[in-house]
Structure 1
């Protein structure tokens, strides 16, 4: 079984750290066992950084404190080499057979979900649910692979009678954004946070003081700077992405959490709507 990997998170985010944080990162990667026995003061001295940089470093990889990071390191080093063959925890190769491909896909999906659970802020998740609950209209948008996730979210919101609007046409989406008000919410999914259409749309929404919720991977991006609330998932496919597979899995999990949270917020009536819509759809299957 896969576990949350501190060392992998550090490796994947290495280029995003500041100079001071990178000193901490490199030291942890080279001396994980020693770090488990250190205080923040000793680690800061050993890597010629600061205690403040250590705390920023921990939060950047989805861990809230140095104490928790040491616990995660201890679990990782204790279970290293146990349970999952190294060949499964490796990039896809052209000569992989179907069985190994399946094992790698499942392994990577589980890893992405566990890493995202560590990365996401529950406070931001709760605030996003509140904003969606009180919004008069919800505009959802995503480009490319993210559009698949957005389509799933729109379908879920329609089932509970949320006024949700979505378009694959970027021009039409811009028109809808231009008509949005402070009573509405714009929900955007962008794996990189750098897609031009997404950034342009968020810029327009910002000018109109519309609440913007962004679902994106960990790391700095233009979209992240424009959004009011950012739901952060872990970055799994930082080199060549084959269909953004693990990104999509993590995004769908967060979408499901938002939907279930919204259902709970709206009470018993929402479940009656789900039953009603289910029964209507069943007529098409007869």
Structure 2
């Protein structure tokens, strides 16, 4: 480590939220070990990275300048300068929110129960704000086109993604789409095998590596169906099988595991798909939403 590099080192706080943190969360699974050293340095000492050159970061991470640049590109940035611009904005925002984030992440047995709702919901808001930072808008438009044009749609989700899948299928049905969300894995596989090129699959998976989900997706794709994936990780088995990949996730925060915070992000993305599809076919959507209102009234006391 050079003298200049040592002089810049300080005890700055970790990078917790913002575009850079969101991209690292989504893309780190696909990075090689040398690139991971770079992104870990960005996470652990963001203020130092912001004031350092690419050669200093390479020296500190124990890797090469080209690896630093490739690590930045692996996260979706054009290069090191592009990452630093986003990092500067993130740190300015984090500084304003520092005290609240520290308190929220420090939830524990001694936290006053009356403080829990405010702290948890503040973290939830931060997770949702990060969704737009990792959502590929070209992929989103492609997903809208595939789902709107589909003759029928199968929604697949297992484990913590099961409930969002069921909710999504129900809501898309209210728009007049022919949608099915089999709850058991055999049913998912069997239904997926019957899909053709005019059909689509909407697969939801936090890890993007759930075997049961992948089996159904592979079966659907082999029949020609379009595959839309909602996942927390840009590089995953599910992402490689999907035509349109919508990435959104959340960090692990104390008692709230990563899959729990990511589910909020996934629900938000599914909501954008619902609204986008409704706007793509407004007349038909309005007709079916009116039918939904009538059915709801019939089942209300």
TM-score range, shorter chain: 0.7 to 0.9
Q: Give the root-mean-square deviation of aligned CA atoms.
A: 3.1
* SS of equivalent residue, structure 1 residue 188: strand
> 2:34 & 2:55 partners in 1: Cα distance?
14
Matched with 1:21 is: 35
- With normalisation by structure 1, the TM-score equals 0.84
C-alpha spacing 1:11/1:162, structure 2 compared with 1 (3 Å): closer
- C-alpha contact 2:204 2:231 (8 A) present in aligned 1: yes
C-alpha spacing 1:15/1:163, structure 2 compared with 1 (3 Å): closer
| TM-aligned CA deviation for residue 232 of structure 1 | 0.6
C-alpha spacing 1:54/1:240, structure 2 compared with 1 (3 Å): farther
Matched with 1:208 is: 223
Count of residues paired in the alignment: 284
| TM-aligned CA deviation for residue 284 of structure 1 | 1.9
Q: Return 102-111 or 23-32, whichever deviates more.
A: 23-32
Matched with 1:58 is: 72
**Structure 2: segments with no counterpart, 5+ residues:** 1-15
| TM-aligned CA deviation for residue 120 of structure 1 | 1.1
Q: Which residues in structure 2 correspond to 1:222-237 (within 5 Å)? A: 222-237=237-252
Deviations 1:183-204 (A, max 9, x none): 1001111111122211211222
- With normalisation by structure 2, the TM-score equals 0.80
Q: Which residues in structure 2 correspond to 1:67-106 (within 5 Å)? A: 67-83=81-97, 84-90=99-105, 92-106=107-121
Q: Which residues in structure 2 correspond to 1:176-191 (within 5 Å)? A: 176-191=191-206
1:161 equivalent to 2:169? Answer no
Q: Which residues in structure 2 correspond to 1:4-19 (within 5 Å)? A: 4=18, 6=20, 10=24, 16-19=30-33
Q: Return 193-202 or 87-96, whichever deviates more.
A: 87-96
1:36 equivalent to 2:28? Answer no
C-alpha spacing 1:246/1:46, structure 2 compared with 1 (3 Å): closer
Matched with 1:192 is: 207
C-alpha spacing 1:234/1:91, structure 2 compared with 1 (3 Å): farther
**Structure 1: segments with no counterpart, 5+ residues:** none
- C-alpha contact 2:127 2:265 (8 A) present in aligned 1: yes
